[in-house]
Amino acid sequence: MSTEIEAERPASGGRASTIVVWVVFALLYAYPLFEGISNLIAVPQFYAEHKIAGVPWPLLILGVVAPAILYFAALLLGRGRELFPRTLLLAVGLAATNALFLSAVQLAATI
């Protein structure tokens, strides 16, 4: 009976495809992380040169921390799942990362 149930399960995609998905999404998450780090370095200098008071430090720190936290949270939530749900969790995390970045840019523009 258990062999019939195991035979009906879809293939998980294998270990190699899982690693490929992790690496591809790591590269996709690297861009918002790079943006956050470059903003953390450049924005305070820009504010100082133009004599603008009040550097938005929480937004700058969020821009650096959010991509890493969301990537690792998606990896942890995806453990033990099939390849498609794992990929979907990583895609949702990436969308949330970019939405946070765009929201932070909009909020910083209003300050």
Domain that holds residue 38: 2-110
DSSP string, 75-103: HHHHTTS-HHHHHHHHHHHHHHHHHHHHH
**How many domains would you assign to the chain?**
1
pLDDT per residue as tens digits for the range 45-102: 999 999 888 888 999 999 999 999 999 999 999 998 999 999 999 999 999 999 998 9
Give the model's pLDDT for residue 95: 97
CA 60 – CA 66 distance, rounded (Å): 10
> Can you give the pTM of this predicted structure?
0.79
Phi, psi of 78 (to 5 degrees): -85, -10
Check if the beta carbon of residue 77 is closer than 8 Å to that of residue 89: yes
Which residues does 52 contact at the CB level (< 8 Å), separation at least 6? 46
Q: Which residues of 71-95 are buried (b: 16+ CB within 10 A; e: fewer)?
A: beebbeebeeeebeebbebbeebbe
